[in-house]
Amino acid sequence: MLAAIRRLALACAFGGLLAAPAGAEDWPMFGRDHTNRHFSPLTSIDRTNVRGLRPAWIFQTGVTGYFQAEPVVVEGVMYLSTTQNHVAALEARTGRVLWTYTHKARTEKIFGPPSNRGVAVSNGRVFEATMDGRVIALDAATGKVLWDHEAVRPEEGESETASELAGQLGAAGVQGSSRLGFKMPPLVAEGLVIVGVAGAGYGLHVEDAKGGLDGGAVVGIEGGYGRRGWLAAYDAATGAERWRWYVTKEDGWEGVFAEKTADGVPLHRDIAAEKAAAAKYPEAWRVGGGSLWMTPAYDRELGLIYVGTGNPAPQNFGLSRPGDNLYTMSLVALDVATGRLRWYYQQVPHEEWGYDVASPPFLLDHPGPNGPVKAVAQGSKTGWIYVHDRTTGALLAKSAPLITHKNLYAPPTEAGTVVSPGPLGAISWHPVAYDPVAGAAFAQVRHGATTYTVKTVPAAAGRPAIRYTETSEAKGEPSFSTLTAVDLAGGGAIKWSVKAGSRLSGGTLATAGGLVFSGEDDGHLDAHDAETGAMLWRFQCGAGIGGPPITYAIGGKQYVAVAAGGASFTKGSGFGTGDALVVFSLPD
């Protein structure tokens, strides 16, 4: 009886929200459907039997590390991208390879680690956006290239270089720069393939022995090194560009010089100094950054897509970009047919800490005084989950704090300022799962502080002094991860929070079986009770979990799949890298 009631509740919860009905057994797109909830109605694997999960099959991509892709499953076929933008089609029941596509990059000058987060599948085509700036369509049956559109050349434009900083940065490894490319899985809607560039305000990332952003430095070098972020739509049949929306606002990107965030938190800005400097930097918007990291959510009824935008450029260094830097650091709603901006909510005006609005937004019905309100939510690096009216952008609610804040929005200084959270945020790009029946969101939350220090390389013959902001791990501050459940239906209170053994990464998956799946950097995939947070099962996958888990079914048999490849920071922390997609099921 309880199972029947839950199935009815699920049907009601999903009714009216799905842009394209998803078969219960499939995982046909990023997030499973256009709501981006990372929630499955499957119940064969549940609290009572999850301990019996065992590997069903493993697929090795042959490319080690930075394996962050979320697989897509359509009618028994799994489509999977790898770190080098190769693609494989697999029989989802057995892992048998049906075809592979080998990507040949046109440049090695990319903006950061060579990772890709997934493909989109629609009408017999597989769509991928690549790190070398291309959007491609493959035949879903054969893997044959149907069209290949060069959207941007990553090597175009001036980029940061560490050569003149070598004396201060030492021999540490350097990655990144402001070069444009694609990370996100595309969104396919209304005959359009929609995808946004990353790398617009990335900056140089300098690693120490521990690896990762807060193990080394994020160097936002003063000057015009950034790029202008954008989201574009391409014709799914031909690849022709249909519209493009630029993140940085050409006219009035300075905004109102806000002294507080829209939800009332002081920003500690020197507004007078910014206004005095504005005349010196009238065209900062041209190199103003604003990357787009993850796939938009889509409301077909309203004709709107919802996407988060990244930090302004120079990263972590705001002296040469006075003003609010619109529309960076924002959740925005765009018209799906034209790309026209409908509304925006800027989480952090004049941002200097690396708090990109990176985690993909998800759709929900939020309780209101006059009944449910069509809403969109976003788990932020700043340490809250924000809930907005889907039509107007009005802030409906903000969750309880997910972390303990310290000196939030205190600007970087020459002496060094300790701020929590750091650039990896509370919630990074990793998807937040949402159970529409329980009204609960499940987030991987990072707790930790970073020291932001303004530094200067003295002037030398032929060049002026170079200023930049360096980040480093804050000494003596706690650093850990939690899997945290937030009761969005009940006012945003923390329902439960469980400390993890290592850094959590990749994102979460929730199911109607009462489970939450979450991956760790040390290679463990964990299953928790969605009601209490208790760990019910875990498995060592052999390498850090870098992508979101999914679940699907073939002939009534349910499977759970996750990418285990690790990354530079997992290797630097002593955990392995790999190339395996690991798929689990219950014994027959």
Please choose, from the candidates 153, 61, 77, the residue with its C-alpha nearest in 3D space to the C-alpha of residue 116: 61
Tell me how long the chain is.
588
One DSSP character per residue, 344-367 reads EEESSTT--S-----SPPEEEEEP
Of 551, 545, 544, 540, which is closest to residue 576 (Cα–Cα)? 544
Q: What is the pTM of this model?
A: 0.92
Residue 469, helix vs strand vs coil:
strand
Q: Is the dihedral of CA 62, 67, 69, 71 positive or negative?
A: positive
> What are the strands, taking DSSP E only, across 51-103?
54-60, 72-74, 77-81, 87-91, 97-101
In eight-state DSSP terms, residue 489 is G
Pick the closest to residue 195 from 207, 183, 179 (CA basis).
183
The torsion region of residue 257 among left (phi > 0), alpha (psi -120 to 50) and beta comes to left
> Would you say the C-alpha torsion 249, 255, 259, 261 has a positive or negative sign?
negative
pLDDT in tens, the chain (588 residues): 334 434 444 444 443 333 334 467 999 999 999 999 999 999 999 999 999 999 999 999 998 878 999 999 999 999 999 989 999 999 999 999 999 999 999 887 776 677 899 999 999 999 999 999 999 999 999 999 999 999 998 776 656 665 656 556 554 555 556 688 999 999 999 999 999 999 887 666 555 444 444 445 666 676 666 789 999 999 999 999 999 999 999 999 999 999 999 999 999 999 999 999 999 999 999 989 999 999 999 999 999 999 999 999 988 888 889 999 999 999 999 999 999 999 999 999 999 999 999 999 999 999 999 999 999 999 999 999 999 999 999 999 999 999 999 999 999 999 999 999 999 899 999 999 999 999 999 999 999 999 999 888 787 777 777 788 888 889 999 999 999 999 999 999 999 999 999 999 999 999 999 999 999 999 999 999 999 999 999 999 999 998 999 999 999 999 999 999 986 666 666 677 889 999 999 999
Q: How far apart are CA 504 and CA 162, in angstroms?
A: 30
For 125-256, where are the E strands, in sequence order? 125-129, 134-139, 145-150, 173-176, 187-189, 192-196, 204-207, 217-219, 230-235, 241-246
